[in-house]
């Protein structure tokens, strides 16, 4: 069985258009004039994943307010979660990478695995429709939703509450850098605090980078464990 066939078996979807799956597994470093990368599929897959997860949360937590649903959604669609699912499905060995990217550990990079997971979801959606994509997402994400590891309060909220508890003003978030193309930007945000050392972090959006910077401070202060749980 080919690598593509292995992936089809693991995700439970046999592609009518094998080219979609090939594209979903192709990094920009391996793209050629005749074979594009997964970037456009990643864009679509991110949205398909979000709508299916939102649907699942709406059904599972009928009494939850919008804010709680949003926080649960963010935890389930974030890059780390997508990368974890991609590892579980063994996508790393099936990736099509250029020699340089392969030599620098591209098959295990969080960002690449997360992007490929979203691209595969989009490929399934385009090949089999929303029901097929929903089947894949529900099977892989329902166990994560049933036992979430992320706290219901987001990192920015926790950091502000912690500072206020010490009589300090709210943190300030400053854009340090923006890089990458318009369709795939990367932002570097620094969080600055009165009387405390700040931190900086990267993200695909300003909000993601702000949350990551706040998380870095909380983790440094022992208020946020690596797996996303607080000490109380």
**What CATH number does the domain containing 123 carry?**
1.10.1520.10
196 and 133 co-located in one domain: no
Domain CATH number, residue 193: 3.30.160.20
In a domain, 215, yes or no: yes
Find out whether 158 and 219 touch, Cβ atoms under 8 Å.
Answer: no
136 and 165 co-located in one domain: no
Helices in the chain by DSSP H: which ranges?
A: 3-11, 18-24, 39-60, 66-77, 79-88, 99-103, 110-128, 130-146, 155-165, 206-220
The C-alpha atoms of residue 208 and residue 92 are separated, in whole angstroms, by 24
In a domain, 179, yes or no: yes
User: pTM score > 0.85 for this model?
Assistant: no
Dump pLDDT digits (tens) for 217-227: 988 888 765 43
167 and 196 co-located in one domain: yes
* Average of per-residue pLDDT values in the chain: 87
Dump pLDDT digits (tens) for 132-170: 999 999 999 998 887 544 454 678 888 988 898 888 999
13 and 66 co-located in one domain: yes
Give me the sign of the Cα torsion angle 39, 40, 45, 47: positive
Q: Which of 92, 99, 104, 111 is nearest to 39 (CA)?
A: 111
The C-alpha atoms of residue 38 and residue 88 are separated, in whole angstroms, by 19
In DSSP terms, 187 is beta-bridged to 178, 203
The C-alpha atoms of residue 232 and residue 230 are separated, in whole angstroms, by 5
Residue 118 appears among annotated catalytic residues: yes
202 and 133 co-located in one domain: no
pLDDT at 232: 33
Q: Which of 156, 29, 153 is nearest to 98 (CA)?
A: 29
26 and 138 co-located in one domain: yes
64 and 139 co-located in one domain: yes
37 and 56 co-located in one domain: yes
Average pLDDT over residues 40-66: 93
pLDDT at 5: 61
Q: Indicate the burial class of 5 (C-beta count within 10 angstroms; 0-12, 13-18, 19 or more).
A: middle
Question: Quick one: CA torsion of 43, 138, 14, 8, rounded to 10 degrees?
Answer: 80
Catalytic residue among 42, 101, 115, 118: 118
Average pLDDT over residues 29-35: 78
21 and 41 co-located in one domain: yes
Asked if residue 215 has pLDDT above 80, the reply is yes
132 and 65 co-located in one domain: yes
Catalytic residue among 42, 46, 140, 154: 46
pLDDT at 1: 36
pLDDT at 120: 97
19 and 95 co-located in one domain: yes
Residue-number span of the structural domain to which 16 is assigned: 3-146
Residue 46 appears among annotated catalytic residues: yes
The C-alpha atoms of residue 144 and residue 170 are separated, in whole angstroms, by 32
In a domain, 230, yes or no: no
Q: Which of 127, 129, 90, 112 is nearest to 7 (CA)?
A: 90
In a domain, 102, yes or no: yes
**Number of structural domains the chain divides into:** 2
46 and 119 co-located in one domain: yes
* Final residue of a structural domain among 146, 179, 212: 146
């Amino acid at each position: 069985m080919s690598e593509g066939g292995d992936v089809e078996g693991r995700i439970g979807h046999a592609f009518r258009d094998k080219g979609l799956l090939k594209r979903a597994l192709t990094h920009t470093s391996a793209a050629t004039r005749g074979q594009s990368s997964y970037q456009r599929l990643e864009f679509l897959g991110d949205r398909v994943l979000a709508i299916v997860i939102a649907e699942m949360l709406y059904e599972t937590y009928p009494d939850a307010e919008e804010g709680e649903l949003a926080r649960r959604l963010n935890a389930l669609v974030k890059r780390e979660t997508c990368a974890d699912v991609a590892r579980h499905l063994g996508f790393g060995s099936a990736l099509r990478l250029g020699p340089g990217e392969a030599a620098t550990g591209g098959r295990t990079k969080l960002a690449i695995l997360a992007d490929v997971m979203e691209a595969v979801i989009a490929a399934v959606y385009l090949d089999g429709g929303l029901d097929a994509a929903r089947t894949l997402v529900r099977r892989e994400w329902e166990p994560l939703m049933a036992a979430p590891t992320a706290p219901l309060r987001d990192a920015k909220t926790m950091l502000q509450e912690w500072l206020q508890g010490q009589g300090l003003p709210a943190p300030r978030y400053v854009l340090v850098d923006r890089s990458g193309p318009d369709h795939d930007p990367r932002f570097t945000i620094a969080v600055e605090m009165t009387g405390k050392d700040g931190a900086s972090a990267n993200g695909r959006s300003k909000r993601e980078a702000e949350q990551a910077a706040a998380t870095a401070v909380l983790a440094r202060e022992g208020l946020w464990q690596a797996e996303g749980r607080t000490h109380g």
